[in-house]
Amino acid sequence: MSRKPNHPTKTFLRVLSYLAEKKFLFVLVIFLVLMNSGAQILGNYFLKPIINDYISPMIGVAKENRVYTGLILILFQLACIYITGILCGYAYKYIMMKLSNEALNRMREDLFNKMQDLPIQYYDTHAHGDIMSCYTNDIDTIREAMSEGFTAIISSVVSVGGTFIMMLMISPFLTMFILIMAVLMILIIKKFGSLSSSFFKKQQKAIGKVNGYVEEMFEGVKVVKVFNYENKTMEEFDKINNELKDAAIDANTYASIIMPIMGNLSYITYAIIAAMGAVQVINHMLDIGSLAAFLQYTRSFSHPLTNLSQQFNSILQALAGAERVFALIDEKEEVNNGKVTLVNVKKENGKLVECEEVTHLWAWKHPHGDRYELVELKGDVRFHDVVFGYEKNHTVLKHINLFAKPGQKIAFVGSTGAGKTTITNLINRFYDVNEGMITYDGIDIRLIRKEDLRRSLAMVLQDTHLFTTTVRENIRYGNLNASDEEVIEAAKLANAHGFIEHLPEGYDTVIRGDGANLSQGQRQLLAIARAAIANPPVLILDEATSSIDTRTEKLIQDGMDKLMHGRTVFVIAHRLSTVRNSDAILVLEHGEIIERGSHEELLAQKGKYFELCMGVSELS
C-alpha cells in the first residue's frame, strides 16, 4: 500500500487468479463484455446503411411515394442489437459484482489464515495499524479494480480494437489521423500517469501512517488524558494528516487533469475529422453515411481511451494494494517442522497405550524411524546453555542453564530487561533459541509440533486480553470442549465466581472493549480461570497478580496453590510475596542467572535477592 507496484503484471495475474476460480462465470463475464462492446461497434456501423440505403434515397422523393418498410426493419434490428448490448452490460456487471466479492472474501480468508501462522516476531516488528490497512484500504482499492476496472479494461480494449478495424474499413485516410491523435493521447496518459503514481505512493504511505497513529492513540487514550497530552497529540495528528492531505491533493490533481485534457482532445479530433470528412464527401471521395458512421466511431474511439486513462491510476493503486496484501500472504510462516505430537494415553499392565478417550493422562508420541516411543508428559523443563537475542548482535540471554523438575515452582525475579519474560517466550516457542537447547521431558522442544507444545502449557499474561463474547466463552477459551460445570469450577478456583455472579447476566454477560466494564483485577481473574480450565501440566504466570490488589491476591492464593499443585510452574512477579514459597528462585541480571536457591537460601547469601527484599534495589 505504501509503494508503486514492483511487479504489476505478476500482481495483476494473481488478482485475476482469484476471479478465475469460478471459471464458468469468469468466462461468461468475458463473453458478455465482448457482446456488450460488439453491440456498440455494430450499432455504430448501422448508421452507414441507414443513411445511404434508406434516408438518402428518399431525399427529394414525394411524401406519398416514400417507402418506410426497410427503414423500420433496419431500425428494429438496430434496436435489438442495442437491447442485447444493454442486457449483456447489466448481466456482466451483476455477475462481476458477485465474482469480485467472492474473490475478496477468499482473499480476506487467506489473509486471516496467514496471520494465524505468522510468528510472534512479525507482530513485534510491524505496526498493527499497517496490518489492518491490508483489510481496509488495500482490499477496498482491489474491490474497485475488480468490480469496475477489470471489465472496463476488456471493454475498452475490445472497443478500441474493433472501432479501429471498422474505421480502417470505412476510411484509411481519416483513420491515420485518428491514429496520430491516439498516440498523442497515450503519451499524455503515460506522462501524467507516471506523475500521479509517485504521489499515490506517498498518499498510500501516509494513509498507513495515519491508521497506525490513530490506533496507537486509541490504545493509549487513558495515558494521553492522564498526562494532559491532548494538545500535543492533536498537533502530531495534524502534521501527519496534513501530509496525507498534501499527497492526496497532488495525486488526485494529476489523475483528475487527464480527463479534461483527454475530453478536449477528443472534441478537437471530432471537429477536425468532421471538417476533413465533409471535404471528402463534397469531392465524392466518401459517402455521407460512411462519414456519419466514422464520426460516431471517432467518438467511440476516444471514449474508451479516456476511460482507460481514468482507470489507469486506480488500477495502479489497486495493484500496489494487492502487492501489499500478497506480500503479507506470502510472509514466511512460523517454522513448525516438529514431528513429536501430544496424545491421550492410558496405562495397561504398567505400560502407556495411546487411546482416543480423554484420560487426563498425556504422552509425547516420539517417532524413531518406523516406530515410535511414548514419553509420559510430566513437565520436566530444562535449559541447556541457551543463548538468545531478538536481533542479531544483541544478545538478551547469555548461556542460561536451568531446570524445573515435574511439580516444581520456579520463580524469576530481576529488574526490567533482565530476560524474565524472554525465558517464558522460549519455552512456548514464540521464538527459537540461537544457541543451546531446551528440553521438555527430555525431548528437544524444536522436535515437538508447536500446537502440541502449546497445548501442554497455559499462560497468564500481565496484559490480559478478553474477547467480545460472554464471560463463559472467555473462560472456555482455555478448553473449547469444557462443560458449563467445568467453567464454573475453574472460576471458583480462581475466585472469580463471586464477582461474575454479580454481573448483569452472570456468566452470559457479554464482555466488550477488551473488558472495559471490568476492573483490571477482575480481568486478571478471568485470565487465571482460563488457564485453570486448560488443566495443563505446565503453567506460566507472567506478572499474573500484578494487577490484583493485596486483598484479592490473598483470596486467590489458595485457589492458585490448588491450580499449581502437581504442575511445573514458572512465575514472574515483581511482588516478592508471590515467590516466597517457590521451590527455586532465579535472580536474573543482564540476561544471566546470577543467583539460584530458595527464599531462605538467597537471603542467607546476602546478594542481589537480599537487596531486593530489603528494598536496597528496586524490582520491576
CA-to-CA distance for 45 and 90, rounded, in angstroms?
23
**Domains of the chain, start order:** 103-329 (1.20.1560.10), 341-376 (no CATH), 381-614 (3.40.50.300)
Q: Is 216 helix (H, G, I), strand (E, B) or coil?
A: helix
pLDDT over 70 at 62, yes or no: yes
Q: Tell me the Ramachandran region of residue 376: left when phi exceeds 0, alpha when psi lies from -120 to 50, beta otherwise.
A: beta
pLDDT over 90 at 441, yes or no: yes
Candidates 156, 77, 83, 142; CA nearest to 107 is 142
Candidates 323, 19, 29, 23; CA nearest to 152 is 29
Candidates 534, 537, 542, 528; CA nearest to 566 is 537
Looking at the DSSP assignment, which residues form a beta bridge with residue 592?
A: 589
pLDDT tens-digit readout, 151-204: 888 888 888 888 888 888 988 888 888 888 878 877 877 777 666 666 776 776
pLDDT over 90 at 384, yes or no: yes
Q: What percent of the chain has pLDDT over 70?
A: 90
CA-to-CA distance for 320 and 314, rounded, in angstroms?
10
pLDDT tens-digit readout, 309-352: 667 767 777 888 888 888 888 888 887 778 999 998 888 888 88
Assess contact for 489 and 395: CB atoms under 8 A: no
Assess contact for 531 and 561: CB atoms under 8 A: no
Looking at the DSSP assignment, which residues form a beta bridge with residue 488?
A: none
Assess contact for 453 and 538: CB atoms under 8 A: no
pLDDT over 90 at 148, yes or no: no
- Backbone phi, then psi, for 583, in 5-degree steps? -70, -35
Average pLDDT score over the chain: 83
The C-alpha cell at 367 is 517417532
Query: Within 13 A of 23's CA, how many CA atoms are on the CB side?
Result: 0
Assess contact for 35 and 165: CB atoms under 8 A: no
Q: Read off the pLDDT of each residue in 490-510 and give the average, rounded to a whole number.
A: 88
Q: What percent of the chain has pLDDT over 90?
A: 15
pLDDT over 70 at 545, yes or no: no
Q: Tell me the Ramachandran region of residue 441: left when phi exceeds 0, alpha when psi lies from -120 to 50, beta otherwise.
A: left
DSSP string for 493-545: HTT-HHHHHTSTTGGGPBP-TTTTTS-HHHHHHHHHHHHHHH--SEEEEESTT
Supply the pLDDT for residue 334.
80
CA-to-CA distance for 136 and 226, rounded, in angstroms?
31
pLDDT over 50 at 618, yes or no: no
Q: Find the range with the poorest average confidence among 212-221, 474-483, 554-563.
A: 554-563
Residue that is written with C-alpha cell 479501429 in the block: 164
Supply the pLDDT for residue 554.
67
Q: In what order do the strands lie in the sheet with 381-388?
A: 397-404, 381-388, 435-440, 443-444
The length of the chain, given as a count of residues: 620
CA-to-CA distance for 495 and 559, rounded, in angstroms?
7
CA-to-CA distance for 322 and 139, rounded, in angstroms?
7
Assess contact for 313 and 200: CB atoms under 8 A: yes
- Most confident option among 115-124, 319-328, 375-384: 375-384
Q: Read off the pLDDT of each residue in 113-118 and give the average, rounded to a whole number.
A: 86
Supply the pLDDT for residue 182.
77
Q: How would residue 386 be classed by pLDDT, with cut points 50, 70 and 90?
A: very high
CA-to-CA distance for 416 and 43, rounded, in angstroms?
78
CA-to-CA distance for 458 and 50, rounded, in angstroms?
82
CA-to-CA distance for 574 and 547, rounded, in angstroms?
11
Q: Tell me the Ramachandran region of residue 514: left when phi exceeds 0, alpha when psi lies from -120 to 50, beta otherwise.
A: left
pLDDT tens-digit readout, 245-271: 888 887 777 667 777 777 777 788 888
Supply the pLDDT for residue 160.
83
Other Cβ atoms closer than 10 A to 554:
12
* Rounded-to-10 torsion of CA 481, 483, 488, 494: -20
pLDDT over 70 at 80, yes or no: yes
Supply the pLDDT for residue 4.
56
Q: Is 21 helix (H, G, I), strand (E, B) or coil?
A: coil
CA-to-CA distance for 473 and 491, rounded, in angstroms?
12
CA-to-CA distance for 566 and 584, rounded, in angstroms?
15
Residues 6+ apart with CB under 8 A from 426: 383, 386, 388, 397, 432, 433, 438
